[in-house]
Amino acid sequence: MKQYNAALIGIGGFGKNHTKQMVEHASERRLKCVAFAEPNPEANRPYYDSLVGIGVKPYVDYREMIQAHPEIDFVAIATPIALHKPMCVYAMEHGMHALTEKPPAVTVQDVEEMAEVSRRTGKLCSVSFQMTGINAFRKLLELLRDGAVGELKQVTGTGLWHRTDEYYARTAWAGKLTQSGQYVLDGTMNNPFSHLLNNCLYAAGMGDPAKAAPVRVQAELYHGHAIDAEDTSCVRIETACGVDVRFYATLCHSSSDTPQLVAHGTAGKMVWDYGHRLKVVGADGNERVLEFPKEDLTRNMYMNLMEAIAAGDAGQKTLYCPVDACRSFVQATNGAFESAKAIHPLPVEYWERLSVVIARAAAEGKLFSELGEPWAVPSAPFALDGYRRFALYQE
């Protein structure tokens, strides 16, 4: 494989993992990290020093970095959500491929702009929805296409995690709907459980999320913590391919359980979780469990992007998650906000029952209000035909 010239924007937060990737791939001579941009070096001194120590040139402004290094092949972007789109667009407009953290954008208009720039410039924009590259999930997609569970009818994702007030205090944009006039929409759908929702849509389309484009979305959104965005959600999605998607998530659980996805077909079901195994259950109830070796998921995304660059014109098909494939995800989240209309309070006295409520809702395919929960607020379905712009919560 050719050695690529790479750059990194952001070394704090999850950027620490990207710093590790840059150092490791450089030691293996897969890439040369020529530059990085970080506006707050002192807050991330060990990671800053690790890059400078291998000869990487530091910058404060990412635009200055990109302009100074036209030899860069791709830029990795590990920054707050609202910065993903402008940074990806700037990199691609300057002749560089991009690998951005998830989500690529949080509005349909922004993800469409990113996809258009990628098409126009011929530059790849890979989104680090890293669960799309995990071997167990790739096997699930393969088995779905092979008809292992008959005709696919429904995909259900459930996620129950525990988050404290400190989690939301870690950064100024955490739990916000907007910040400084920019959309953030930092809740269950766009941040902690975005991998789960994205994989549900991938599974519904059997590897092609465009086939699972949302047609109608009905959602209820709640917050138990003192935040603007949702920390508890239930979403029902009708897709273009006829496979229903159900999504249930909370950050108010007493512990953090392993999120899982269940694909239901006419001849059985498959269960995949964030671990490295896949359970296949036949119509007769017999089951088999497929075990897979543990993987470095961020490393997978770097390797996948470099393989896609090497593939040339075939690179878009090589990517695990090109930005163009994220339209269905963003349409689904935007539709959920449009349907719910507001983020409703979830009183703390009901938190301990959430696991029971979510389990029942997932089993019956219902929203929380349809179960008669006293805190739940009904919503109406939102049709996405011709939907081109998200404009809620504008300041």
Identity of the residue numbered 141 = L
Where are the domains positioned within the chain? 4-129+299-322, 132-294+327-383
Q: Cis omega before residue 103 (within 30°)?
A: yes
Q: Which CATH class is domain 4-129+299-322?
A: alpha beta
User: Is 238 in contact with 391 (CB distance < 8 Å)?
Assistant: no
pLDDT tens, position by position, 315-358: 999 999 999 999 999 999 999 999 999 999 999 999 999 999 99
Domain 132-294+327-383, CATH class in plain words = alpha beta
pTM, full prediction = 0.97
% of the chain residues with pLDDT over 70: 99
Backbone angles phi, psi at 5, to 5 degrees: -90, 125
Q: What are phi and psi of 221, to 5 degrees?
A: -125, 135
Token pair for residue 120?
Answer: 């126009």
Distance CA 77, CA 101 (A): 6
Q: Is the pLDDT confidence value at 104 over 90?
A: yes
Q: How confident is the model at residue 395 (pLDDT cuts 50, 70, 90)?
A: low
156 pLDDT more than 90? yes
Residue 131 in this model has a pLDDT that exceeds 70: yes
